[in-house]
Structure 1
Amino acid sequence: MRGLICGPKLAACGLVLSLWGVIMLSMLGIFFITHSAVLIEDVPFEEADIHQDNPQKIYELYDKVGYNCIIAAAIYVFFGSFSFCQMKLNKRKDYLVH
């Protein structure tokens, strides 16, 4: 079968992992963009940024990390759709064989 790269179990595993990655990274991206205080340890700031009166630099770093999470979630969508197509091709192969 043309275009078939992985088997049915690997395709199903890829789909499940991609779905979890999209959910997790989307939620993290939303929480970073809303400047959640719980995630301050994951923001790459310097010690001098904490002692400023204007928190704008830290908010920009929050947004940068949040957008990176959203981009990673989009990449997981791409790989999830690839895994879904592989599952469909495997089902078609099984249907044509039997």
Structure 2
Amino acid sequence: MACTFCGPKLSLCGLVLSVWGIIQLTLMGLFYYVGAVALLEDLPLGENHHDVDHFINEVKYSYNQNATNCWIAALLYVATLVISGHQFWMNNRSSVSM
């Protein structure tokens, strides 16, 4: 028999937060990928730019990097969703068998 390490309320909370995190981070990654101007302020850009081409290349790189980071975080939320779902299932299974 598998071990449960979190209760039914905590596992349900993990499920809800994971679903929300997956949706939010996937959409943010998509918006970074298409280069949404509203997210320009969130890019880690340096202050010294030699010319316009250098600045544009740095902006494109930063958008792509932030999109990748959002998608990686969304995948981590998928792992959290799986673990929370398993714990929720185990808690419900053990409460039914009692």
Whether the TM-score (by the shorter chain) exceeds 0.5 is: yes
Query: Which position in structure 2 is the counterpart of 1:9?
Result: 9
Provide Cα deviations, 1:52-73, integer angstroms capped at 9, x if missing partner.
3211221011100110000000
Distance 2:16 2:51 in 1: 44
Query: Which position in structure 1 is the counterpart of 2:45?
Result: 45
Provide Cα deviations, 1:18-43, integer angstroms capped at 9, x if missing partner.
00000000000000011111001100
- Structure 1, unaligned stretches of length 5 or more? none
Written as runs of structure 1 = structure 2, the 5 A alignment for 1:1-98 is 2-49=2-49, 52-54=51-53, 55-97=56-98
The two structures, once aligned, show a CA RMSD in angstroms of: 1.2
**Aligned residue pair count:** 96
Normalised TM-score (structure 2): 0.92
- Structure 2, unaligned stretches of length 5 or more? none
Normalised TM-score (structure 1): 0.92
- CA drift of 1:48 comes to 2.4
Percent pairwise identity: 38
> Which residue type is aligned with residue 53 of structure 1?
V
Distance 2:51 2:10 in 1: 50
